[in-house]
Chains A and B, each alone.
Chain A
Amino acid sequence: MKISVVITLKKDVLDPQGKVIHQTLDGMGFKDVIEVRQGKYFEIDTKETDIEKAKTKVEEMCKKLLANLVIENYKIIDPK
């Protein structure tokens, strides 16, 4: 089963890369952009067949390694 996780920076954390991407988009003519925040995306293929158990494990992975909760939030996406 594949579980996906999206990690994003918390609201108050400065994201200089997102800022530069925003400026570049602006320079390319995408004038409607209000803000860009860069994050990370993981696909975790697990042997676990029970969705809830798999999600619980992935949540533990997020807390212990994938995200740093001082600056990042994580969101686990339900497998299709």
Chain B
Amino acid sequence: MKSSVITFPGSNCDRDIDVALKKFGFKNKMVWHADAELPKSDLIVLPGGFSYGDYLRCGSMASKSKIMQSVINFANSGGMVMGICNGFQILVETGLVPGVLLRNKYLEFICKNVFVKINNKKNKFFGNVDNEVLEFHIAHNEGNFFCTKDQLKEIEDNEQIAINYCDKNGKIAEQFNPNGSVKNIAGIFNRKKNVLGMMPHPERMIDISLSGEDGSIFFNNLINNLK
């Protein structure tokens, strides 16, 4: 399986996701944002970081990068695209996934482990994961998912919510919502479920000696689903 990670000026999780993808068997290539063409890929990842210094709105500048037109075309033709953290912010700015990510409700940069409940397994990202709840890591200042009421209805009707913040038993409640996101949303899909945007970083949970192994479950499962 071939993957590509796009590096934007200010990306800083691009090498982490590179390590993670390779660990679980992907042949990964790094792609510079100013390139026009994507290498042949089964998965494109937009990594975390602070592309363009978060100027204007997080992800807004990167969403207009030269490579992004190819990423949008790839996604629209059914290709698998995943945006993590800043990558999620870039995805919402392209319109590939609905909504926006606002400043965290309590104006704090949040850096901690969180539990997320998988809301929809009828897709290649989470299909066949045995667990209902995964422990991932979040580190962001603008992860407060917001959308209009009409958009929310559409998102729910099309089962586009991927994961919600919850406690370790999978209980979704306001006290387990770290950033004020609508409905505790931590990640969403596009309509076709081939594009996933999420604030948590699975690539930070791929080694027991780091912070945990639930990212390993995610990546192992992902590559098997793509085969």
Bound form: Cα–Cα A71–B56 in Å: 14
Interface string of A8-42 (1 = CB under 8 A from B): 00001110110010000000000000000000000
Known: A13-B102, A14-B102, A70-B99. A65 touches B64 (CB 8 A): yes
**When the two chains form their complex, are residues A16 and B106 in contact, meaning their CB atoms are under 8 A apart?**
yes
> Does A68 count as interface, using CB distance less than 8 angstroms?
yes
> Does B60 count as interface, using CB distance less than 8 angstroms?
yes
Which B residues between 163 and 201 are near A, CB-CB below 8 angstroms? 180
**When the two chains form their complex, are residues B102 and A71 in contact, meaning their CB atoms are under 8 A apart?**
yes
> Does B112 count as interface, using CB distance less than 8 angstroms?
no
Number of interface residues of B (CB under 8 A): 19
**When the two chains form their complex, are residues B100 and A68 in contact, meaning their CB atoms are under 8 A apart?**
yes
> Does B66 count as interface, using CB distance less than 8 angstroms?
no
Distance (Å) between the CB of A21 and the closest chain B CB? Answer: 11
Main SS at interface, chain A: loop
Number of interface residues of A (CB under 8 A): 11
**When the two chains form their complex, are residues B146 and A17 in contact, meaning their CB atoms are under 8 A apart?**
no
Distance (Å) between the CB of A11 and the closest chain B CB? Answer: 12
> Does B147 count as interface, using CB distance less than 8 angstroms?
yes
Residue of B nearest to A42 (CB): B56
**When the two chains form their complex, are residues B147 and A70 in contact, meaning their CB atoms are under 8 A apart?**
yes
**When the two chains form their complex, are residues A14 and B105 in contact, meaning their CB atoms are under 8 A apart?**
yes
List 28 A-B residue pairs with CB atoms under 8 Å apart, sorted by A's residue number. A12-B148, A13-B102, A14-B102, A14-B105, A14-B144, A14-B146, A14-B180, A16-B103, A16-B104, A16-B105, A16-B106, A16-B107, A16-B180, A17-B103, A17-B107, A20-B107, A65-B56, A65-B60, A66-B56, A68-B57, A68-B60, A68-B93, A68-B100, A70-B100, A70-B146, A70-B147, A70-B148, A71-B102
**8 additional contacts (CB under 8 A) given A13-B102, A70-B100, A70-B151:** A13-B146, A16-B103, A16-B104, A16-B105, A16-B106, A20-B107, A68-B60, A68-B100
